[in-house]
Structure 1
Amino acid sequence: MKIKNIFSVLLITLLSLGSCADFLDRDPDKILSDDQVFSDAVMIKSVLANFYGRITWGQHIDDSYSYTILDEAMKTDGGPDTRQVFEDNRWRVYDYTLLRNLNQFLVGVRATTVLDSKTQKELEGEARFIRAWLYFNMVRGMGGMPIVGDEVFDYVPGMDITALQYPRSTEAGLYDYIISECEAIKDYLPVNPSINAARATKWAALMLKARAAIYAGSIANYNNKMPSPIKTDGGEVGIPASMATKYYETALAAAEEVIKSGKYQLQLSKPDDRGRNFYEALSVKENNHEIIWARDYKYPGQTNGFTQANIPASHAEDIDRCYAGPILNLVEDYEYINDRDGEIKTRDASGNYIFYNKPEDAFLNKDPRLWGTVIYPGAIFKGTPVVLQAGQKHFEKGEWKVVTSEPGDKDDNNILITSINGPTTTNNQFVNKSGFFFRKFLDETPSASTRGRRSEMWFPRFRFAEAVMIAAEASFELGQTGQALTYINMVRSRAGIQELTTITFDDIVRERRVEFAFEDHRYWDLKRWRLADKIWNGIQNDPKAQQYALFPYLINDPGNPNNGKWVFDKIPTHMSPYPRYFQMRNYYNFIDQGWIDNNPKIVKNPYQ
């Protein structure tokens, strides 16, 4: 058996796959022939592990800046970020080298004699799952792209290369391929959840099938409701409206198969503390019953810097801290438990300040998922409060005066002026400027924020709540509103907020926003629903497009009846002076001219 080129040199494996001791026993760090690789079961699995380490795209916790691009968080390190528009290649994925490597692996694993048939099928299923995941990341950014199947192309100088040049698939055709691959391999894959969810299982394949189908259904539905649908003559971009129902039905069936399997659940291990319960359902690996597939990290060698970069200054264990922070736009989309209006009350109807005894009182009775997602002023982290204080205020000559200081300074009476955490309107490093910190994916483990160790926190790609929300959305789009209500209320009930009695499309949009914040859903959701250009409209001070901060102030005014209380100012953040502007051209990544030069059969996307 000969597989040319790719496995001649094996690099040190990138991923230990989360304590799967039987998966990876040693790292291949020497030159081996292809025959040697596929004659050794451990080496075969090491190659597969390497593939898992090559598929981290989009927003993820080892790229904190990726969270500041949308309307979830902002950069708070240093001076302003003048970003406004979205790049033509934002989160674009085009990796036919990896596709070729996967196809070479499939040739080898199908031919090897050192694996039993069950293991052979499992490894084939995992490789094809990774390949389907790669195609999914391509299609959601660019639309239809060339589908090469299992082909492994070998170029010989002087040969006719036209046989190697495949045209782009239709957008529908590539989604169909992903869906069919997931269906074909689901029974190859293990049925029982993997340790730390690092490896693909049957349920991960069904989740990818469900997500691909709900994306395709959304595009078929909402793209065709635009005044000028985005499409190409050959269907490389754009899906016929007539296909929407089929995709929604596929999404619903796949999601319900996961839901009814009994393998996962909406984790509720702490019903008396719904905020911490939500945090742990996503961020604690031990005894986790919610995460289906994750990008795992394991010390030593494979750790991420999210906690190191974003921990509050008051809790930092090294010099790094406060790189980015959630914004008010996101925080106010979390409802109150018995009030769907999530606006933080800062002033009354007459424009006068609303006074709070403690800063955290402004967030009382908020959707507990807010506590599990965001550290707001006064909230507890690792056992102690996170003090966020922009300064002091006092009333003088009929108006409120502000006093600020360098972070951590106190006045002559030893009263804190501006917290070491901020927020501030300076360009200083290592100080918050939004009024909030991340909690979701922030690791509470000692030393997790140090440069020497960093964090083992995982990044969930699929979890059970998404299966429930896909079922809710697909049911709604199919006109099954009773079933849609049942599913969306499962998620809301676990969160600890009031159940809905009616359901609208806007309810689905909002529920996904707050449930999946920072999980690489927001950008793709708004694109597939064709809402991105409406929400990120580029209008200065628009409440959706502009990034907003919330600054808490202590009233230090002896003799004033409100002395010692707290007020808040809502302000457009100076760190993001321009509103987000998503243009029609951004619905599909541009096709690189170099790809076209190599393969003239690849056509450009709209607006190029």
Structure 2
Amino acid sequence: MKKAKLYIISAFVFCTAMFGCSDFLEEEPEKIFTDEQIFTDLNMINSVLANYYGRINWGPSVEDIDGHAYTDEAAFSSGGIRDYRTYDNNWWRLYEYNFVRDINIFLRGLSSETANNNIDLNADIKKQYEGEARFLRAWAYFNMAKGLGGVPIVYDEIYGYESGTNVLDLQVARSTEAATYDYIIAECEAISQLLENAKTNSPSDNIHAARANKWVALALKARAAIYAGSIAKYTTTPELRLPNGEVGIPTSEASTYYQIAYDATTEIIKGGKYSLYLKNEIDLGRNFYDLFINKESNPEVIWALDYVAPGKTHGFTNNNVAYSIKGDVDANKITPILNIVEAFEYKNNRDGKLKIKDAGGDFIFYENLEDLFVNKDARLYGTIITPGSLFRSVYISYQAGQKYLENGEWKSRVGEPGAVNPTYGLLTDQNGPTSGDQLYVSKTGFNIRKFVEENKDAATRGRGSDIWFTRFRFAEILLIAAEASLELGKPQIEVCGYINQVRSRAGIQNLSNVTIDDIIKENRVEFAYENHRYWDLKRWRRAHLLWNNDSESDTSMFYSLFPYKVNEPGNAQNGKWVFEKVKTYTTRYPRYFEMRNYYNFFDQDWLNRNPKLVKNPFQ
């Protein structure tokens, strides 16, 4: 067999807390090294490992900005109509066997004679490297399984072709979906033991939560198990099962997976290393925002994709900042839709629908823009910039137009964003919202706050933002514990105890009884823009029910909120604000998730190269 080599492509030097620094710094691309070059030098080993960390950002994030607009959290805003409604067969599909092979080469190198002769590479350091590498491999398998179901598991094998090799020996059949999740879960358990004594197990030493540690492994174990459990329980249609189990998990196995998830979250909770971020009990909205901004001594974030300026930054702030506070040309690439805003409850009312009209269908008039959002779930402030809220201490105004009376009916005047009409003054704010093709203007009446940095320089193309992207945090551990305990039939007092910790941090009422619908709703608002929503609806088999191609549905159609200022001198309502719910201009078709979308199709090239693979349902 040909000698395998380690490839470092667009690598980053990864100096860990163990070796004295924490930054990811760019290094020269396209480098190829032998085992002898790598495993005689801890810095080189760190560099290879850092490269692997840099290759695992899959799905909507602060880099895949567009991805957020394909769920029901945001819409494309800058520019005109985007004519899409369905999901491609390869949507967020992952088949990362080159990555798995690279990890296997690295693991083999750790046990090589070269590594054994490296006196700096002692047993404890080896365990940490092995644990981290195996975690990244498990993370890759998990991300493949989310879309494809059961995938080939190659374990530690390193496959390569040379003259005389029997190609049949290089072809690996798909494992069942259950076996794929079993492998991920078992790996995470083994990894947690490998990393039992890792220095990075302490959040204060795991700088910016950048590295996998024992608790990260247990968090993935919990997430994989809760996915498997819900797939087993909620797959009720035979169309989503294959005869040999490559997709579909037996319903009888649901409780086994829920128990695994419950045990893993219990271990994390009892470990006492992490807790909900609560450094500002006076302003819970600001507190929730700070959770995603404050990377120093953050007790909640278990694992994150870190960025460091200058050098490694992203354009999430630059692309999504409101027009009136932009730092460069760009603004409003994607913006929140009314659907997600109304998913946030009121403090004492679980129905989050905004009160824009009375029972008779007439406008409700507000003195100030911000009055509409009084007593909302504090997480709304931390997640979304709503009309009349502050960002960088700047009042963010949205105005679609003016309202005036004509023959007893309210009519609208609109204008170009930011232009002042000589007779009527400002008609449409520079922030919008509008129904038109203007660039950089909000079409929904909101902006994203979560992951958007307040530093004005971060809103420029040249500098970018170094806000991290959270992958696992303690709130998810509590909500997985709530879901698992609910599905296992634990007492409601225990189920409520988990979910109410998260709700109390949001300043909303505690629950005395929890259903799966409560879990779904809580996940939606807690994890908006964190790459949960699409996968959650898939595992619960709710996506086709909510995104059902109904142009009049509040769940599949996108809506915007248009504020209007009343301009009717002499009228008691003059100068007040009214709001209209309108269909989002850039998204004229309802979201349509078909049954075929629950599992990605296998690429024909993969099937041609490996006849042992089986096609997924509807393929």
Q: Is 2:56 aligned against 1:55?
A: yes
CA distance in 1, matches of 2:314, 2:26: 20
For these two proteins, the number of residue pairs brought into alignment is: 604
Q: Is 2:570 aligned against 1:559?
A: yes
Range with bigger deviation, 400-409 or 46-55: 400-409
Partner of 1:39: 40
CA distance in 2, matches of 1:26, 1:343: 46
- 1:188, distance to aligned residue in structure 2 (A): 2.1
CA distance in 2, matches of 1:247, 1:25: 36
**CA displacement 1:103-154 (0-9 Å, x = unmatched):** 0000112221321111110000000000000000001110000000000112
RMSD over aligned CA atoms reads 1.6
Q: Is 2:9 aligned against 1:11?
A: yes
**CA displacement 1:43-64 (0-9 Å, x = unmatched):** 0110000000000001111121
Mapping of 1:136-535 within 5 angstroms? 136-189=142-195, 190=198, 191-193=201-203, 194-223=206-235, 226-228=236-238, 230-412=240-422, 415-480=425-490, 481-535=492-546
Q: Is 2:584 aligned against 1:585?
A: no
Partner of 1:116: 122
> 1:248·1:477 contact (CA, 8 Å) conserved in 2?
yes
- Amino acid of the residue matched to residue 106 of structure 2? F
CA distance in 1, matches of 2:27, 2:422: 63
Partner of 2:90: 89
- 1:159, distance to aligned residue in structure 2 (A): 1.6
TM-score (norm 1): 0.97
Change (3 A) 1:57 1:23: same
> 2:15·2:21 contact (CA, 8 Å) conserved in 1?
no
CA distance in 2, matches of 1:26, 1:499: 45
> 1:222·1:529 contact (CA, 8 Å) conserved in 2?
yes
CA distance in 2, matches of 1:25, 1:176: 33
- Amino acid of the residue matched to residue 105 of structure 1? F
> 1:11·1:28 contact (CA, 8 Å) conserved in 2?
no
Q: Is 2:549 aligned against 1:550?
A: no
**CA displacement 1:85-119 (0-9 Å, x = unmatched):** 01111111101000000000001122213211111
CA distance in 1, matches of 2:356, 2:23: 54
CA distance in 2, matches of 1:26, 1:317: 25
**CA displacement 1:308-362 (0-9 Å, x = unmatched):** 0000011111111111100000010100001111000111111110000011100
Structure 2, unaligned runs of 5 or more: none
- 1:17, distance to aligned residue in structure 2 (A): 7.5
**CA displacement 1:242-292 (0-9 Å, x = unmatched):** 100010000011011111111110111101100000111123212211100
- 1:26, distance to aligned residue in structure 2 (A): 7.5
Partner of 2:139: 133
CA distance in 1, matches of 2:436, 2:412: 15
- 1:488, distance to aligned residue in structure 2 (A): 0.7
CA distance in 1, matches of 2:344, 2:48: 43
Mapping of 1:13-32 within 5 angstroms? 13-14=11-12, 16=14, 21-22=20-21, 29=28, 32=33
TM-score (norm 2): 0.95
Structure 1, unaligned runs of 5 or more: none
CA distance in 1, matches of 2:567, 2:373: 22
CA distance in 2, matches of 1:471, 1:396: 57
- Amino acid of the residue matched to residue 173 of structure 1? A
CA distance in 2, matches of 1:22, 1:98: 26
Change (3 A) 1:414 1:448: farther
> 2:66·2:76 contact (CA, 8 Å) conserved in 1?
yes
